[in-house]
Amino acid sequence: MEFEGPDRVADALASVSYLADARIAQVVFLAEKLSKPVLVEGPAGVGKTELAKAMAAVTGRDLIRLQCYEGLDEAKALYEWNYKKQLLRIQSDVDHDWDTISHDIFSEEFLLTRPLLAAIRSTEPVVLLIDEVDRVEVETEALLLEILSDFQVSIPELGTMTANTQPLVFLTSNNTRELSEALKRRCLFLHIDYPDAEREQLILSARVPGLSDHLAGQVAKVARSIRSLDLKKSPSVSETIDWARTLLALSVEEVDEEVLGDTLHVLLKYQADIEKAAKELTSSSTT
Amino acid sequence: MLPVITGFIDELREAGVPVSMVESIDAMKAVEAIDIGRRVALRETLRATLVKNLRHERAFDTAFDIYFSTIPLPSDGHDENGPMGGDPGETPGGQGGGAGEFDHEALFNALLEALSGMDAEALRKGVRDAVDHLAGMEPGRPVGGTYYLYRTLRRLDLAELEDQLLQAMAGDEELSELDERLLREEVEALIEQLREEVQEEIRRRLVADRGREAVARTLRRPLIEDIDLMHATSSDLADMEDAIGPLTRKLAARLARRRKKRTGRLDFRRTVRKSLATGGVPADPQFKHPRPHRPEVWLLCDISGSMATFSRFTLQFTHAMSTHFSKLRSFAFVDTIDEVTDFFGPGIDFGSAVSRITTEAEVVWLDGHSDYGNSLETFYSRYGSQLSPRTTVIITGDARNNYRPPRDGILAEVAKASRALVWLNPEPIAYWDTGDSTMSHYARHCTSVHEVRTLRQLEDFVETITLPAGRSLQNA
């Protein structure tokens, strides 16, 4: 699927209820055009993972997801030899000489594909999502480099496997640690921040059916206001969506101090934050 | 187009943003694929290909404003060749031009209307008028435009504009306090937008007047990681906060690292996998990685007057560390020392922690001038017995002792009782041991000593720190 320009990307994403701003649309357009992976960075819950899902939906591709975690290794990310099957093969076959067998057990039949290899070998183009890449150790990052720059995987026993089709790759990071230069160099960089009030209002209207424009506007403005405070954890977009749903369920039509005070815990998850926001927003605003 | 982009990349590098060869080639390729007549498209394309770190965005934005300010915004109606190669002198409304009658009130009202109606086109026109008549720009002066910006804004009377905007948007209704607050924030956002437009307009004129390189040179600021911590402004410190989080996490990981030992349990899966190479005989057993041990860190911060800015930074660092180290104890000292661990407990925000430290912690004993000797002695007599071979002690301070006895023998005791002793000094190495600095007295007892004047140096320290491993095991 080819997009004519960033506007088309934004339109397409909007059709699956993902509202992209100019920056997101431009970078996704470039990623497609230049066949480069995108490294998406930003605070938790601004829709980084959602972007990859939305792109999969838009392009009709399968989404292959690799969730990163500390201790992720080659065997779980790239490929692994199916040693049980290999053992069985060796034991079941006593007639043949060793040369034939050893050649046989290192063939594709005994290869277990993990997400990265699966994305490369897929016959249909896919969207590959490497989620929370900042969670793996620096050393493990190197596993990704070959795939990101050349869309290929080298397996010592088999040779190099190149991509049948060009996958669209998204990496997400919460920026808990600095990623290596080598990794960044191979990617387009996209920082997604909290949306401005206008865009958030649109997002709310798209995501929460039945929400009035007025209420969506109010929710977005309150969210902006809360984010301007110095909090342990600012409310994410998903949390404002939850909050809008809550308000809808309570059939609230107008956000006032009382409603806000009663429902703040949907937006904020730390007691200290809730107290602070309640103090700032619901009591007097004399400052 | 190409020369402008190479010039732009040079400027980014000049400002300290690392742009590799590959990235600049990527940028060129990407620019070919897009519609360069659109400023937003060009900006986001260059940003995505050249800037891979959020901390460098400010430098990028400034440079972009300067290098591509002559690209008209979509609605301006431009001819194909004009904007890029164009003669900068053509920018509309030079200085002093079109003086004639100037109606201040009309401009004020036009801006008011543009802002409340969110009319970008009208806003831009109003800003152009404002800069024409109010900035009083003098051609050829080597300035960065901040002065022009403030002059324009002052003459525009922003406070009045804000008030009127507030009234216009509030209508006649009685507003609740919450609504009022929300409205005020909206107005502030609009005013901020106006401010940015004015700044951009002024930069555009400066570029037209003096050329890109010259303006870029005037506006160049050190990157956030290169700012001297002793002289950082509070807004710099706020910017640094985002960078500190990842750094402390990394430090935690580095301190937890141990030499590889076969202490873990047998990893059955990997052993069987490995045994295939030897025909199913498990000749080379594989082990699970041992759990990383929890490092115990004690931080001693000099928070005396001479260290004001730096100590604010170290306290920020301490605050961030307290979320990553379960066993972190922090101490603050001036001429005596007090434990401040509890002030950084979970859920306590940084501001209130600092104010409690300055009011409640007993860090002043005599006159409030640094006394490392007494602080160390108090520290050792009060807490020394709790030091263990697992403890890493980090001291931050300039070792300026006001000519008091250094009592470095006590530091030797501290070093002996702990796993490692690290000293971070915010002064340039050349200044150590000058005047009342007693750095070398202390340095010889430390496992390692580092100059940490900038965030970058702190990063380097975290990157390279290696501590004597396994001392706890030898002693145990």
Q: Is the pLDDT of residue A35 over 50?
A: yes
Which pLDDT score, from 0 to 100, does residue A185 have?
A: 92
Judged by DSSP in three states, B337 sits in: strand
The answer on A59 and A153 residing in a single domain is yes
Tell me how far apart the alpha carbons of residues B454 and B424 are, in angstroms, rounded to a whole number.
11
Same domain? For A224 and A272 the reply is yes
B325 and B459 fall within a common domain: yes
| A197, burial (CB in 10 Å: exposed 0-12, middle 13-18, buried 19+) | buried
Say if residues B54 and B17 touch (Cβ distance below 8 Å).
Answer: no
pLDDT at A28 over 90: yes
Quickly list H helices, B257-388: 268-275, 308-324, 350-360, 372-383
**Contact yes or no for A257 and B26 at CB 8 A:** no
For residue B209, pLDDT beyond 80: yes
Q: Which amino acid makes up residue B352?
A: S
Which chain B residues are Cβ-neighbours of A23 within 8 angstroms? 44, 47
In a domain, A48, yes or no: yes
* B459 and B358 within one domain: yes
A199 touches chain B (CB under 8 A): no
pLDDT band at B136 (very low <50, low <70, confident <90, very high): confident
Same domain, A155 and A64: yes
Q: Average pLDDT of A209-231? A: 88
Q: Are residues A58 and A128 located together in one domain of the fold?
A: yes
Tell whether B79 and B176 lie within a shared domain: no
Hey, which residues 95-134 in chain A have their CB within 8 Å of chain B?
none
Give the residue among B408, B446, B454 at the shortest CA–CA distance from B428.
B454
Closest of A161, A229, A236, A159 to residue A194, by C-alpha: A236
The token pair at B293 is 């041990």
Helix axes A257-267, A213-227, angle to 10 degrees: 70
Q: How many domains does chain A have?
A: 3
Q: Which of B51, B280, B351 sits opposite A189 (nearest CB)?
A: B51
Over residues B152-165, mean pLDDT: 83
pLDDT exceeds cutoff 60 at B74: no
pLDDT of residue B473: 37
Instruction: Say yes or no: A191 contacts chain B, CB-CB below 8 A.
Output: yes
Asked whether residue B352 carries a pLDDT value surpassing 60, the answer given is yes
Chain B contacts of A26, Cβ < 8 Å?
A: 34, 40-41, 44-45, 48
Q: Same domain for B414 and B341?
A: yes
Judgement on whether residues A226 and A139 belong to the same structural domain of the protein: no
The confidence score (pLDDT) of residue A234 equals: 87
If asked whether residues B127 and B191 sit together in one domain, one would say yes
Burial of A155 (0-12, 13-18, 19+ CB in 10 A): middle
Instruction: Determine whether the interchain pair A81/B35 forms a contact, defined as Cβ–Cβ distance below 8 Å.
Output: no
Name the residue range of residue B328's domain.
Answer: 242-257+292-475
By residue range, what is the domain housing residue A205? 197-281
Clarify whether residues B182 and B305 are in a common domain. no
Residue B232 lies in a domain: no
* Co-location of A40 and A182 in the same domain: yes
Q: A120 vs chain B: nearest CA distance in angstroms?
A: 23
Which pair of tokens denotes residue B432?
């150590």
Phi, psi of B307 (to 5 degrees): -105, 15
Domain count for chain B = 3
Element holding B5 (H helix, E strand): helix B2-14
Put simply, the answer to whether B26 touches A177 (Cβ < 8 Å) is no
Q: What is the pLDDT of residues B75-134, one digit of tens each?
A: 444 333 333 333 333 344 444 444 445 677 888 888 888 888 778 888 888 888 888 888
pLDDT tens across B245-271, in order? 777 877 777 776 655 555 678 888 888
Q: Which one is predicted more confidently, B70 or B424?
A: B424
Residue B73 has what pLDDT? 52
Residue B32 lies in a domain: yes
pLDDT at A118 over 60: yes
Residues A177 and A201 both lie in one domain? no
B279 in any annotated domain = no
Do B41 and B167 belong together in one domain? no
pLDDT band at B290 (very low <50, low <70, confident <90, very high): low
Residue B273 forms part of a structural domain = no
Contact check, Cβ <8 Å, A225/B180: no
pLDDT at A260 over 80: yes
Do residues A211 and A248 make contact, with C-beta atoms less than 8 angstroms apart? yes
Asked if the structure places residue B171 within a domain, the reply is yes
User: Are the CB atoms for B361 and B295 separated by under 8 Å?
Assistant: no
Where does the pLDDT of residue B293 fall: very low under 50, low under 70, confident under 90, or very high at 90 and above? low
The mean predicted confidence, pLDDT, of chain B is 80
Asked, for residue B283, whether it belongs to a domain, the answer is: no
Same domain, A248 and A147: no
Residue A169 pLDDT grade (very low, low, confident, very high; cuts 50, 70, 90): very high
Q: What secondary structure does DSSP assign to A94-129, as a single string?
A: -SS-HHHHHHHHTSGGGEEE-HHHHHHH-SS-EEEE
Establish if B98 belongs to a structural domain: no
Indicate whether A212 and A141 sit together in one domain.
no
CA atoms within 13 A on the CB side of A150: 9
For residues B337 and B225, the model is more confident at: B337
Pairwise CA distance, residues B201 & B222, whole Å:
23
- Structure token digits, residue A50: 């959602």
Q: Which residues of B395-425 are buried (b: 16+ CB within 10 A; e: fewer)?
A: bbbbbbbbebebbbebbeebbebbbbbbbbb
What pLDDT was estimated at residue B197?
87
Determine, yes or no, domain membership for A1.
Answer: no
- CA-based R_g, chain A, Å: 24
Q: Tell me if A286 is assigned to some domain.
A: no
Does A281 have pLDDT greater than 90?
no
Of the two residues B184 and A54, the one the predictor is more confident about is A54
| Interhelix angle B158-170/B104-116, nearest 10 degrees | 50
Q: Confidence class of residue B48 from pLDDT cuts 50, 70 and 90?
A: very high
- What one-letter code names the amino acid at A134? D
> Which contacts of B277-284 are long-range, i.e. CB under 8 A and separated by 24 or more positions?
B280/A87, B280/A90
Element holding B395 (H helix, E strand): strand B391-396
* Pairwise CA distance, residues A127 & A65, whole Å: 8
Q: Mean pLDDT throughout B403-426?
A: 89
**A207 in any annotated domain:** yes
pLDDT higher than threshold 80 for residue B292: no
- Residue ending a domain, choose from B40, B61, B87: B87
Asked if B52's CB is within 8 angstroms of A39's CB, the reply is yes
| A95-109, A215-229, B267-281: range with highest mean pLDDT | A215-229
Contact list in B for residue A39 (CB cut-off 8 A) is: 52
Q: Is B417's pLDDT higher than 60?
A: yes
Confidence (pLDDT) at A189: 95
State whether B168 and B199 are in the same domain: yes
Whether B134 and B81 map to the same domain: the answer is no
- In angstroms, rounded to a whole number, what is the distance separating the alpha carbons of residues A177 and A193? 17
CA distance B432 to chain A (A): 31
Over residues B296-324, the mean pLDDT reads 81
CB contact under 8 A, B177 and A285: yes
Distance CA A224, CA A194 (A): 9
In a domain, B278, yes or no: no
Residue B399 · residue B303 · CB < 8 Å: no
In one-letter notation, the amino acid at residue B355 is S
**CA of residue B170 relative to chain centroid, distance:** 37
Asked if the Cβ–Cβ distance from B34 to A225 is below 8 Å, we say no
A176 contacts chain B (CB < 8 A): yes
Per-residue pLDDT, averaged over B442-452, amounts to 90
CA distance A67 to A70: 10
What pLDDT shows up at residue B346? 64
| Distances, alpha carbon A262 to alpha carbons A136, A254, A280, B140, B468, in Å | 39, 13, 15, 60, 53
User: What is the separation, in whole angstroms, between the first and last Cα of chain A?
Assistant: 54
| Mean pLDDT over the full length of chain A | 87
Residue of A nearest to B272 (CA): A83
The shortest C-alpha distance from B407 to chain A (Å) reads: 39
Same domain, residue pair A28 and A104? no
> What is the nearest CA distance from A175 to chain B, expressed in angstroms?
7
pLDDT category of residue A128 using cuts at 50, 70 and 90 = very high
| Closest Cβ opposite residue A178 in set B48, B178, B246 | B246
Q: Please state, in angstroms and rounded to a whole number, the distance separating the CA atoms of residues A247 and A257.
A: 13
Give helix then strand counts, H and E, for chain B: 20, 6
Are residues A148 and A260 both part of a single domain? no
**Whether residue B441 sits in one domain with residue B383:** yes
pLDDT above 70 (res B41): yes
Say yes or no: B356 and B416 in one domain. yes
pLDDT digits (tens, 9 = 90+) for A172-218: 998 777 788 899 999 999 999 999 888 999 999 998 988 898 899 98
The reply to whether B189 and B326 lie within a common domain is no
The percent of chain B in helix, strand and coil, each rounded to the nearest 5, is: 60, 10, 35
> What's the pLDDT at B150?
84
Q: How confident is the model at residue B340 (pLDDT cuts 50, 70, 90)?
A: confident
pLDDT for residue A51: 94
Residues near B8 by beta carbon (within 8 Å), at least 6 away in sequence: B46, B63, B64, B67, B68
* Measured distance CA(B36)–CA(B83) in Å, rounded: 10
What are the contacts of A146-155 at 24+ separation with CB within 8 A? A147/A116, A147/A119, A147/A120, A148/A37, A148/A183, A148/A186, A148/A187, A149/A186, A151/A35, A151/A120, A152/A120, A153/A78, A153/A79, A153/A116, A153/A117, A153/A120, A155/A79, A155/A111
DSSP annotation string for A3-46:
-SSHHHHHHHHHHTT----HHHHHHHHHHHHHT--EEEE-STTS
Give the model confidence (pLDDT) of B6-38 as tens digits: 999 999 998 889 999 999 999 999 998 888 778
Extract the tokens encoding A126. 């896919």
CATH of the domain at B458: 3.40.50.410
**Distance between first and last Cα of chain B:** 68
What gap in Å lies between CA A146 and CA A169, rounded to an integer? 13
pLDDT at A130: 94
Give the A:B interface size as CB pairs under 8 Å: 123
Task: Output the pLDDT for position A57.
Answer: 94
A157 & A242 share domain: no
Position B476 scores a pLDDT of 30
| CB-side neighbour CA atoms (13 Å) of B35 | 14
Contacts B186 to A, Cβ<8 Å: 197, 221
C-beta neighbour count of A246 within 10 angstroms = 16
User: What does the pLDDT average to over B384-388?
Assistant: 89
